[in-house]
């Protein structure tokens, strides 16, 4: 098996190879979160001492509790949030921040057990693009940035520009276009996110492993087959 082969795709059964589903760690995260959770004061104040009884806050607390260190984009968080609803089982619900008490019973209940394929398409590469947003446009290495723009293709105007801001916006916009149009046929949200991280690592630090990985991935896109994984250089 060569360095440009997709080992993960080869491991799929023939049905999955035909359907080509998007693979995502969000599925495992959703499966790991409880179907029903009684909300207590610890969950309400886990993310902020002032506490908030809203779905996003409670789910963030649950993720921190059941899957510590898990990181995702804002859009991915929205997809997980959409899978849960509040179930208030008391006529009255009172949160007393001063006494740190919660009067009444309220649960967070899982109402969806999977995430639709179309919604997963909308978050491909989103976390990586957020990472590119952290680039400091005023001190980007323009030579390395132009290399990345050239690799992404269709960025001639940004390559010719002397503005770091223009180049940064072009990187982000071009990646969005690649995933929206399914140009690279990436079928893994994890792999899609890595592209943005590799681009930033190379532009910021000249990381040759990152350059090797994204270059290898680009070569694989010419095979016009779905891509789930690559043999990464570390």
pLDDT, tens digit (0-9, with 9 covering 90-100), for 122-139: 999 999 999 999 999 999
Q: According to the model, what pLDDT value does residue 2 have?
A: 61
pLDDT, tens digit (0-9, with 9 covering 90-100), for 183-210: 999 999 999 999 999 999 999 999 999 9
| 3-state SS class at 20 | coil
Tell me the pairing of strands 84-88 and 36-38.
unpaired
How far is it, in rounded angstroms, from Cα 10 to Cα 139? 42
Instruction: Strands of the chain (E only): list them.
Output: 36-38, 84-88, 94-96, 101-103, 106-110
Q: Does 51 or 150 have the greater pLDDT score?
A: 150
How far is it, in rounded angstroms, from Cα 225 to Cα 227? 6
Q: According to the model, what pLDDT value does residue 60 have?
A: 87
Neighbours of 73 (CB within 10 A): 19
Q: According to the model, what pLDDT value does residue 171 have?
A: 97
pLDDT, tens digit (0-9, with 9 covering 90-100), for 69-128: 888 888 999 999 999 999 988 878 777 777 777 788 888 999 999 999 999 999 999 999
């Amino acid at each position: 098996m060569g360095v440009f082969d997709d080992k993960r795709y080869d491991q799929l059964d023939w049905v999955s190879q035909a359907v080509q589903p998007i693979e995502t760690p969000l599925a495992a995260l959703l499966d790991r979160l409880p179907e029903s959770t009684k909300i207590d004061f610890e969950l309400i104040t886990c993310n902020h001492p002032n506490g908030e009884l809203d779905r996003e806050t409670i789910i963030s607390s649950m993720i921190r509790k059941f899957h510590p260190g898990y990181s995702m984009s804002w859009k991915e968080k929205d997809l997980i949030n959409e899978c849960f609803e509040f179930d208030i089982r008391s006529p009255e619900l009172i949160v007393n921040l001063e006494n740190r008490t919660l009067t009444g019973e309220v649960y967070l209940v899982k109402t969806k057990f999977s995430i639709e394929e179309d919604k997963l398409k909308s978050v491909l590469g989103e976390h990586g693009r957020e990472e590119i947003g952290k680039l400091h446009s005023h001190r980007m290495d323009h030579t390395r940035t132009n290399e990345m723009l050239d690799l992404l293709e269709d960025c001639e105007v940004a390559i010719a520009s002397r503005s770091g801001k223009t180049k940064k916006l072009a990187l982000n916009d071009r990646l969005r276009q690649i995933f929206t149009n399914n140009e690279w046929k990436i079928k893994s949200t994890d792999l899609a996110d890595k592209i943005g991280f590799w681009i930033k690592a190379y532009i910021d630090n000249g990381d040759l492993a990152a350059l090797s990985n994204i270059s290898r991935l680009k070569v694989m896109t010419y095979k016009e087959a779905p891509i789930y994984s690559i043999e990464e250089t570390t």
